[in-house]
Structure 1
Amino acid sequence: MTDVVVTGYGATTPLGGDAASTWDALLAGKSGVGTTTGEWVDKHDLPVKISAQLAVDPSEVLPRVQARRMDRCEQVAVIAAREAWSHAGLAVGKDEEPRVDPTRLAVVIGTGIGGAVTLLDQDDLLETGGLRKVSPLTVPMLMPNGPAAMVSLEINAQGGVHSPASACATGAEALAWAYRLLKAGEVDVVVAGGAEACITGITVAGFVQARTLSQRNDAPEAASRPFDTGRDGFVLGEGAGVLVLEREEFATARGATVHGRLAGIGLTSDAYHITGPDPEGTGQARAMEAAIRTAGLTASDVGHVNCHATSTVVGDVGEARAIRKALGDHPVLTAPKGALGHLVGGAGAVEGLVALLSVRDGIIPATLNLDEKDPGVELDVVAGEPRKLELTAAVNNSFGFGGHNASLLFTK
C-alpha cells in the first residue's frame, strides 16, 4: 500500500496569519492569548474575558465581498487551505492545466461547532427586522460542512467533500479520514484539516457553566497552563490548520517537496461520559497504540508526543497516564495550547502540523506557563526553551467531548 506524504501546509492562528509565523512564534515562546474584544463582551459581562483570537483578522486577507458571503469559520478554512495549496505547488494560473485531476482530488475539513455566529446573528435580525432582513446565504454560512464546501469550490475538488464533526478531535480526525482515502486509492490528493471561529457569548457562557475555562482575566498570557499545578481550565481560541496529503507515488511523479509522512492513525471512543475523559485513559492509549501499529512501528520508535493537554485539572493528568500506558516513560512531551489556546475543531490540524514540523526540523517547542509540573505527570515535558531532538516519529493527540480519541503518527 502507498505511503501518505505531506506536501503542503497552511494555518491562521492566534500566533500568526500563516504557518511560518505561527511556528516561529511558538518556538519563540510567544502567547496568542489576550483580552477578548467584541461588542458582545460588555453586553453579557461574563466572568471570562480572555481568549485566543486570530493574530490576523480574515478581513485583512479576504476581499470584502467574498468575506461577507462566508461565516468566520469558513473564512479561516479558506485562508489556511489557500496557503497549503500554494505551498504544495498545486496552485496554477487561470489558463494552465491543473496538476491533479479534479476527480482524484478530495477535501476533508471539519469543524467542532460550525457557523454558530451566523446562526445567532441572523436570528437576531429575524427577531428585530423580520424575514426581509435575513440573508439568503444564512444556511450555506451556518452549515457544518460549509468550510469543506468552500475549500472544494476554491480548488475544484470533485473527488469528495467530507466534514467530520468530533468536537476537539475534529481536525485530527479529518487528517485520519484523508489518510484512509489515500490508502484505499480512492483519490491522489486530499486537502484536509480543521477550522473553528466561534468566540462569542453563547459558547463562552456554555464553557463557563461547564467549568472548563480559565478565569485568569488579570493575566491572559499566563492563563493556559498545560500540566502545571496552577491550571484552572483552557482558553477558547480560533483558527484553522490545513495539510495537503498525497499518495507518495503521485507526489514523486509530479516532483513535489515532501515535508514528512502521516504514517499511522488511531481513532477510538471512550463511551464513558459526554464531556469527561475516561480517567484511566484506556481509549486514549488504544488510539496511540493503533497509530503505532498502522505505521508499522513500535513504541520505542516514538520519541515525542504533541499532547492534547488543554489545561484542565483532570484531562492533563489522564492523558499523561494514557501516554505512559501506550508508549512508556521515554517520549518527550509538549503542549501547544499553552501558547495557542484551544482551537476546538481546528486544534488537531494545527497541532498535527506542529508535530510534523518538530519531526522535520528536529526541535520541540516549549510548553508555555509550565512553572511547576503536576506530580501526576510523570513524564518529561519540554518547558522554558525549545529542545533540539532528532526524531524518527512523533504522535499528535486530540481528544474531544463525546469521547472521541484521535492519534496521528508523523515520521520524516
Structure 2
Amino acid sequence: MNILLIGSGGREHALAWALRKSPRLGRLYAAPGNPGIGALAELVRLDPFDHDAVITFCRHNMIDFVVVGPEAPLVAGLADALERAGIRVFGPSQEAARLEGSKGYTKDLCAEADIPTAAYQRFTEAAPARDYATRMGAPIVVKADGIAAGKGVVVAETLEEAHAAIEACFDGAFGSAGAEVVVEECLIGEEASFFAVCDGVHAVPLATAQDHKRVGDGDTGPNTGGMGAYSPAPVMTEAMIERTMAEIIRPTMKAMAARGAPFKGVLFAGLMITAKGPELIEYNVRFGDPECQVLMMRLESDLLDLLLAAAEGKLDGVETRWRPEAALTVVMAAKGYPGDYAKGTPIAGIEAADALPDTKVFQAGTALAEGRLVANGGRVLNVTALGATVAEAQKRAYQAVDTIDWPDGFSRRDIGWRAV
C-alpha cells in the first residue's frame, strides 16, 4: 500500500517509524515531513489546507491511504475532502474534530451525555468571564476555546492570574482561538493521557501514558505542548481503564453518532484521576505529542493494520499487542521556549544517541541548512528509550540527551518523576 502521512513533527516521525515496519507498506510519502522523517519517507511539498492539491497528489501517486498527524488539517475538513474523493483516510470528519477544535463544544457534549468533567461556563466577553472566575475562586482554569498549539490553557493559582489570562485571550494572544473562552473549576488529582482508536462505532484502548506539560522541573512554569512523556502510566490501572472506557470514551462515541458525526480516528482523552475517578480535562482528535513517541516504541501490533481497520469500520474484535517494557521520551527544546527562541542553531550527536541500546531520537522542529541539522522550532527533539522499568527507561533517555551536542537546547531533568 502507498501511504501519505500528513505532518512534520515528532509525532509524525514516530508514526513514520512505526508504519515503516509494516509488511503491507509500499511507498511512504510525508508532507511536509522533516529531516528525520526524510530518512524513512519521500518528502513532498504539499499544503494540507489545499484539499484539491492533496487529492491530486494522491491520485497521481496511487495513494491507497492517508494518515493525518496534526489536528489543524482535521479541524479544517481534510478528512471530509479525501473521503468525498474516494480516498481512505485515518482521521475524523470536520464536525467530529470539533471535539478538539472547540473546548466549549466538548464541554457541552459532556453535559449532554453525563460525562464526568469540571464545572464550567462559556464566555464571549471578558467582564462576565471575570465575574464567574471571581465567584468560583482560585485556583481556576482559563482556556481559549479554539486550538492554540497546546498553549491556550492557563491554570491560574490566583484570581489576578485568572483575570490576566481572560484579558489576554480577548486581547488576541491566541488569535481567533481566544474569541471565546471557557472558564472551569480546577480539578485536583493526577493527570493521565488515554488513547482509543475508533471506527465510528467501536473503540480499542491503547497503552496508557502520562506527559509533563509544564516547562520546568517539578512541574513548574508555564504550560507547553509537552516536555516529555512515559508509558505505561501507573495511575491507569485495569479498573481505571475500564471506567474510562465506560464513563468517558463509549458515551462520547454514542453522543457523536447521535449528532450525526461518528468519530473515526484516535480519540485522545486528557484525564484527571480525582478522588471520584477519571474526569475529562479535554479531548484531542489525534495522537498526543510527545505521547505518540512512547506508544510507538512499545507497540508490537502492525500500526498500518490498526489505522486501516479504524478507517474501514472494522475494529470489532481487534486487540493490540504491546512490549512489556516501559518507554520514556525527553523533549529537547530551544532555549526560551515556550516564549521567544532562536532558530537555526546547529545540532550534532543524534547518530551517536540513536546508536545507544533501545534508544530512538525522533525529530520534531528540525531542518537542514547547508547540509547541517539545525533547530527550526520550539520543541526540537524527542529523545526516547525503552527500559524494564520507567526508571531504567529514564536513565537511558538522559544518557542519550547528554550524548547530543546542542548548546542552544534544554530539557527537563525529571521526566517520569511520578512513576520513578
Q: TM-score normalised by the shorter chain: which range applies? A: under 0.3
Tell me the TM-score normalised to structure 1 length.
Answer: 0.27
Structure with greater helix percent: 1
Structure with greater strand percent: 2
